[in-house]
Amino acid sequence: MQCIRVPTARDRLLDPMASEWSGVAGEAIALGATPLANQPSEYVKASRNEDDVGKVRNVMVQTAHDGNEIFIRLSWEDAQKNVEVTETNMFPDACGVLMPLNGDDAPIDEMGSQGAPVNAWYWRAGAEDEAHNMVAHGLGTTRPAASATIEARSVWGHGAWSVVFARALAGEPEAAVDLAPGRSVRIGFAVWEGSNGERAGIKSFSKEWRELALQP
């Protein structure tokens, strides 16, 4: 997966609907249910059926950088826009990306491990776009990590979400993957379908890491 370098203004790249995105080649990534066996909560294990987990099975991914910031655009079909908790089983739609913080051996299906942490970027639908930088050392350990600012913009229309994440390329080793031009990093993707009661560990995800190469 190529992250091309573009001369485009940041306010255009941050806009999920900007015409410039139609010139950035994308990759359709297949998503699957998170395994029930990996859910750290006994309640979740007992109350969910794996066949009903991970309603969104495809996400289109496009990426670009301008030498200072990286922009990652995720889009997926979703007939129902969910922006709030409306009933006990309804949650906001959301998406995220995952990258190993150091080394290549972090397990994607357990959100890293004690020795191989991962960096997650998290966007959640709401009145205002909320985006968070997070670190996990395996299941049940996901925590916000304040040291990097993730911005996100989203648009829902014609039965689909389009979300752009933006972050400065340079990152702190403990809590934010360093994304220098010319580097290659591993990356994974996840989508939560709010109308299907999806939140936290209940979601669909890319079952294998992809290699994201940042154009020098």
Min dist. Cβ of residue 159 to ligand HEM (A): 23
* 20 φψ region: left (φ > 0), alpha (ψ -120 to 50), beta (else): alpha
Evaluated on CA atoms 172, 174, 176, 182, the torsion sign reads positive
Written as one string, the DSSP assignment of 162-192 is EEEEEEES---TTTS----TT-EEEEEEEEE
Q: How far is the CB of 8 from ligand HEM (least distance, A)?
A: 26
> Of the two residues 40 and 67, which places its CB atom closer to ligand HEM in the complex?
40
> What is the gyration radius of the CA atoms in the chain, in angstroms?
16
Furthest-apart CA atoms within the chain: distance in Å = 51
Nearer to ligand HEM, 61 or 214 (CB): 61
> Minimum distance from CB of 198 to ligand HEM (Å)?
10
Q: How far is the CB of 58 from ligand HEM (least distance, A)?
A: 14
Smallest distance from ligand HEM to CB 68, Å: 24
Instruction: Report the residue number, 1 or 18, with the smaller CB distance to ligand HEM.
Output: 1
Q: Which is nearer to ligand HEM, 34 or 75 (CB)?
A: 34
- Let me know: does 135 contact 119? Beta carbons within 8 Å: yes
- What's the CA gap between 144 and 147, in Å, rounded? 9
Q: Which is nearer to ligand HEM, 9 or 30 (CB)?
A: 30
Q: Name the residue nearer to ligand HEM (CB basis): 56 or 139.
A: 139
Contact residues for 87 (Cβ-Cβ < 8 A; gap 6+): none
Q: How far is the CB of 190 from ligand HEM (least distance, A)?
A: 4
Name the residue whose CB lies closest to ligand HEM. Answer: 201
Q: What does the alpha-carbon distance between residue 151 and residue 167 come to, in Å, rounded to a whole number?
A: 7
Binding site for ligand HEM (CB under 6 A): 34, 38-40, 96-98, 108-109, 111, 120, 122, 134, 136, 139-142, 188-190, 199-201, 205-206
